[in-house]
Amino acid sequence: MSYMKVNGIIGMNIEITRVKSMVEENSFGQMVHIMKVIGQIIVNMVKVDYYWHKEIYMKEIGEMIKFMGTYIHQNGAKYIGYWENDKQHGKGKECWPDGATFEGDYKNGQKNGIGTLREADGSTYEGEFQENRFEGHGDYKIVGGKRYVGQYKNNKMHGKGTFYWNDGKKYEGDYINGVKQGYGILCYPDGRIFKGYWQNGKQHGIGIYIGKSKIEKEGEWIDGKRIRWIRKGGESNNIES
């Protein structure tokens, strides 16, 4: 083992020859896992500012390999997981000083794949990520009882999804850029139902209204307000959105 100090940066090199599989605890209490590496490698740990940055190289070809390590930022955030080519890559967990956490897949230093984000206020998102964004299918539970299960694009509800309110109300249908847009069904806890088209988060176009009496009526809505009944039935004026 050798030590070196350059411009106030302390580092050390550990040379290992013909390693097949090894798990060991280093002097910093970190578990280092080297998997089925044949040949000579170098484990290089360098302390920069307040954190340790760990790298593992294959000495023969100079190519970095996968390893598990811990990275602590100066702001207190911490990452524990796999690395490749000096970037978070593979399974990992990230913790922030405010209590928020992420656990899941990383690719090239970003959240990519399946993961669970627990926000500081207690809200949770479980689902797909792409380049640190909610992208694909996800389940977002908001503190207070609201919940959305469906498709996301660029951190917004986008595509097919179902939104639940804490009072028992439920919307199932289309979203574009975070708002109800397209066809959707809104169900109320008292049994009322609206089936129809939406624009900018409001009923807009032809729709079907089913009241508490279970009588079905067809009408037209503009900007969230009913303007006429196409099939007369005589119950309710505007339907809340």
For residue 172 the two structure tokens come to 């199932």
* pTM passes above 0.85: no
Q: How confident is the model at residue 73 (pLDDT cuts 50, 70, 90)?
A: confident
Q: How far apart are CA 127 and CA 149, in angstroms?
A: 10
- Among residues 113, 157, 158, which one has the least CA distance to residue 132? 113
Q: How confident is the model at residue 233 (pLDDT cuts 50, 70, 90)?
A: low
For residue 170 the two structure tokens come to 């439920």
Mean pLDDT of 196-224: 96
Phi, psi of 197 (to 5 degrees): -105, 150
**7 vs 204, higher pLDDT:** 204
HEC string for 148-183:
EEEEEECCEEEEEEEEECCCCCEEEEEEECCEEEEE
Q: How far apart are CA 128 and CA 140, in angstroms?
A: 11
Least reliable range by pLDDT among 82-91, 141-150, 188-197, 205-214: 82-91
Q: How far apart are CA 136 and CA 134, in angstroms?
A: 7
pLDDT tens for residues 130-147? Answer: 999 999 999 999 999 999
Task: Using the structure block, give the residue that is written with the tokens 């847009």.
Answer: 181
**54 vs 77, higher pLDDT:** 77
Give me the amino acid identity at 109: G
Q: 239 pLDDT exceeds 60?
A: no
Q: 22 pLDDT exceeds 50?
A: no
Mean pLDDT of 161-175: 98
Q: 193 pLDDT exceeds 80?
A: yes
Half-sphere exposure of 225 (CA within 13 A, CB side): 2
Q: 227 pLDDT exceeds 60?
A: yes
State the chain's mean pLDDT as an integer.
Answer: 78
> What is the per-residue pLDDT for 51?
40
Mean pLDDT of 118-125: 97
